[in-house]
Amino acid sequence: MIAWLFRFQSLFGLVLVFLAAVIFSPVRNGELLFLDSGNLFNVVRAMSEIGILAVGMTFVILVGGIDLSVGSVLGLASVGAAVLLVRQDFGVLPAVLVVLAAGLVFGLLQGVVTAKLGIQAFIVTLAGMQIARALARIWSGGQGVEIAYGDAPGRAPLAFSLLGERTFNGLVPIPALIFAVVAGLAAILLRVTAFSRHIYAIGGNEKAARLSGVPVNRVKILVFGLCGLLAALAGIVHAGQLNYGGPNDGSMAELDAIAAVVIGGASLSGGRGTVVGTVAGALLVGVLRNILTLNNVDSNIQLLIIGLVIVAAAGLQRLRPAAVG
């Protein structure tokens, strides 16, 4: 029973936070603001970008690494999408493919440096964070790029606005749908492929995995590449939602992504974690932040509370081995 509770700790946490949000929701005209459909849609929409980042971060953490550059890559991708669409007159598909390719290459390069040179991922991605931010500022000329829509030169195709304004079937925001697809594919990848077994083996014991014939370096490089790719996708979604690409956008997003993974039950030492847990962790952070905002809680207090939740989640990770056996 205890092992079962620990296994689904993130889902239990999400249920508890959701119930607390209902209890402490402000009331307007006799209705709970938190349960308003528009508010719930905004929660899902707002956490979609962080959720996509967190899915990529899950893979990196599972191999015992960390990627501090994802927030900056998000900013770089948002700038790239805006510049290509507005200033370079790219179509939507070419612009998206170029930005995704840039994110993939950036992640792969970080993986190569980490795996081949044996430099700690923390150091490599800390440098990557600075480099991506610098590239975003150089690419944009140091200024944000507004995305206006239309057929005239200097305007983006209307199709790109689907990311920010439309819903699927009139119910699910497009960014949330993209997040759901990404999470679903990632969950399948981590469930049924040999690649997933290699990831968990490396995170559990890298030396033993190497002696067992696992291509450790190749798996690490691919994992960082995947993380960079998803960070670029989050940047495209970000630009579509805001109709704007900002070189400073995504600051601190890497910490939200790491928080979602940790709250979701993953071990920072690697080898343990699931995409389902990460999704629950991202939703938990989104709901918690929303109810605090609805109650006009100071933003600094919000940071404090979310920090305490992360500490509590990390504390449960320390208790888990003894409880599970």
- Tens-digit pLDDT string for the chain (325 aa): 556 666 667 788 888 889 999 999 998 888 889 998 888 888 888 889 999 999 999 999 999 999 999 999 999 999 999 999 999 989 999 999 999 999 999 999 999 999 999 999 999 999 999 999 999 999 999 899 999 988 888 899 888 888 776 666 667 788 888 999 999 999 999 988 899 999 999 999 999 999 999 999 999 999 999 999 999 999 999 999 999 999 999 988 998 899 899 888 888 888 888 999 999 999 988 898 899 999 999 988 988 888 888 788 777 766 665 544 4
User: Do the Cβ atoms of 198 and 249 come closer than 8 Å?
Assistant: no
User: In sequence order, which residues have a C-beta less than 8 Å from that of residue 212 and are 6 or more positions away?
Assistant: 201
Please state whether beta strands 31-32 and 145-146 pair in parallel, antiparallel, or not at all (unpaired): unpaired
Q: How far apart are CA 273 and CA 265, in angstroms?
A: 6
CATH number at residue 236: 1.10.3470
Residue 156: Cβ within 10 Å count? 25
Number of domains forming the structure of the chain:
1
DSSP state of 168: E
Q: Which residues are 245's β-sheet partners?
A: 145
User: In sequence order, which residues have a C-beta less than 8 Å from that of residue 279 and are 6 or more positions away?
Assistant: 51, 54, 55, 183, 264
**The pLDDT of residue 158:** 85
Q: How far apart are CA 18 and CA 282, in angstroms?
A: 13
Residue 299 belongs to a domain = yes
Residue 6 belongs to a domain = no
3-state secondary structure of 22: helix
Among the listed residues 218, 196, 273, the one whose alpha carbon sits nearest the alpha carbon of residue 108: 218
Residue 27 belongs to a domain = no
Residue 90 belongs to a domain = yes
3-state secondary structure of 152: coil
Rounded to 5, what percent of the chain is helix, strand, coil? 75, 5, 20
87: containing domain: 36-319
Residue 24 belongs to a domain = no
User: Do the Cβ atoms of 223 and 59 come closer than 8 Å?
Assistant: yes
Residue 261 belongs to a domain = yes
**The pLDDT of residue 191:** 87
Residue 273: Cβ within 10 Å count? 27
Residue 29 belongs to a domain = no
Residue 18 belongs to a domain = no
User: Do the Cβ atoms of 254 and 71 come closer than 8 Å?
Assistant: yes
User: Do the Cβ atoms of 60 and 121 come closer than 8 Å?
Assistant: yes
Q: How far apart are CA 245 and CA 238, in angstroms?
A: 8
Length of the chain: 325
260-to-100, 132, 150, 212, 308 alpha-carbon distances in Å: 23, 22, 37, 32, 13
Q: For the whole prediction, is pTM greater than 0.85?
A: yes
Place of tokens 């495209």: 236
User: In sequence order, which residues have a C-beta less than 8 Å from that of residue 38 and are 6 or more positions away?
Assistant: none
HSE-up of residue 241 (Cα within 13 Å, Cβ side): 20
Q: How far apart are CA 37 and CA 35, in angstroms?
A: 6
HSE-up of residue 231 (Cα within 13 Å, Cβ side): 40
Stated as kind and residue range, the H or E segment containing 43 is helix 37-62
